[in-house]
Amino acid sequence: MKVAVIGATGLVGTVILQLLEERDFPLTDLYPVGSSRSVGKPIAFAGKTYHVMSVQDAIDNKPDLAIFSAGGDTSLEYAPAFAKAGSIVIDNSSAWRSDSTKPLVVAGVNDDHIENGHQIIANPNCSTMQLMVPLAPLHRKYGIKRLVISTYQSFTGTGKQAVDQYESEKITDVYDKDTAAYPHKIFANCIPHCGGFDDDGYTTEERKLENETIKILRDDNIKVTATAVRVPVFGGHSESVNIEFEKPFDLDEVKTLLDETPELILKDDPSTFDYPMPLDAYQTDEVYVGRLRRDTTISNGLNLWVVADNLRKGAATNTIQIAENLIKSGRLSTEA
């Protein structure tokens, strides 16, 4: 199997390569793709040295699978070219998520969407992705009526420029607007602003949570409102989630349901201060949930706290799991 990774030198691309190796993904040829500045740069993978190539060179090699993690503009321009060359594309950017003709997939939640023959498959925003793991079984059981979400998103989700800003400020305590990724300091600060603002005062990250949740859960009746905050945290995104269900629920039953959900770890014992934190999620492939408690101000209300490593589970792991499911479904072949 020939696999291209577009954006191979970026934060998520680096983790994708790491996971392809860790999970022993059955590729025979690797085509790492980067910007013109990165072409020719050596990359170590599975005991071999590869060199970064251009997008066009990768297309010409007609890979079976093309994994994109290089930004929306790059995906919009080149994903169709890979698809035309016969590649199945899994895209990590926002380019195709809202496209009604493209499946938006969370592994273990709506895997059936990968079987419909589409050449381009969208990976959700990292904050949406981790949220779907606990919400999907709860929605099937009780029916979600309304969601109020507050996210506390690691600066690593913005990319290398944000990481450089954080590291510089940690050392100097000086904000440099000329090199900063954010309009304010991120070190020792929280910025209630993730993405650009729309005319209604919501940010793109908040709108992604609204729109992607509805698309993935396949229910236009769910009401979603969100506030997204950027925080000076390595290791993962955290989310405070208030749910209003259509049906009544038993709290112990909810805990059992979540505890039995694959790749979801329940940490919920206040007596021992056991609850999910980014340090728990860092460099892991699971989603963590805890702080479960009934919201007594509304009927059928539940509060919970969700944490996951945004670079791994929120992006890279889900991407590789989609590819693994494509193999299981027969859409990707490991035979010549």
Task: Tell me the pLDDT band of 141, cut-offs 50, 70 and 90.
Answer: very high
The catalytic site residues sit at 126, 237
Burial per residue of 76-87, b for 16 or more beta-carbon CB atoms within 10 angstroms, e otherwise:
eebbeebeebeb
User: What is d(CA 280, CA 120) in angstroms, rounded to the nearest whole number?
Assistant: 33
> Stretch 263-277: mean pLDDT, rounded?
97
% pLDDT > 90, the chain = 93
pTM over 0.85: yes
Mean pLDDT across 250-268:
98
Q: Which residues contact 80 (CB under 8 A, 6 or more apart)?
A: 120
The confidence score (pLDDT) of residue 312 equals: 94
Identify which has the larger pLDDT, 112 or 221: 221
* Rounded CA separation 312/278 (Å): 12
Contact 129, 215 (CB under 8 A): no
Q: Which CATH superfamily is domain 2-124+315-329 in?
A: NAD(P)-binding Rossmann-like Domain (3.40.50.720)
Residue 117's pLDDT is 77
Would you kindly state where each structural domain of the chain is located, as residue ranges?
2-124+315-329, 127-310
CA dihedral 109, 150, 179, 10 (to 10 degrees): -10
Residues in CB range of 301: below 8 A, 6 or more apart: 242, 243, 244, 245, 294, 295
To which residue do tokens 């994708």 refer?
16
What confidence category does residue 309 fall into, taking pLDDT thresholds of 50, 70 and 90?
A: very high
User: Per-residue pLDDT tens for 58-93?
Assistant: 999 999 999 999 989 999 999 999 999 999 999 999
Domain 127-310 has CATH 3.30.360.10: yes
Residues 193, 203: Cα–Cα separation, whole Å: 7
Beta strands in the chain (DSSP E): 2-6, 29-33, 42-45, 48-51, 65-68, 88-91, 120-122, 144-154, 223-231, 237-245, 264-266, 287-295, 301-308
pLDDT band at 258; cut points 50, 70, 90: very high
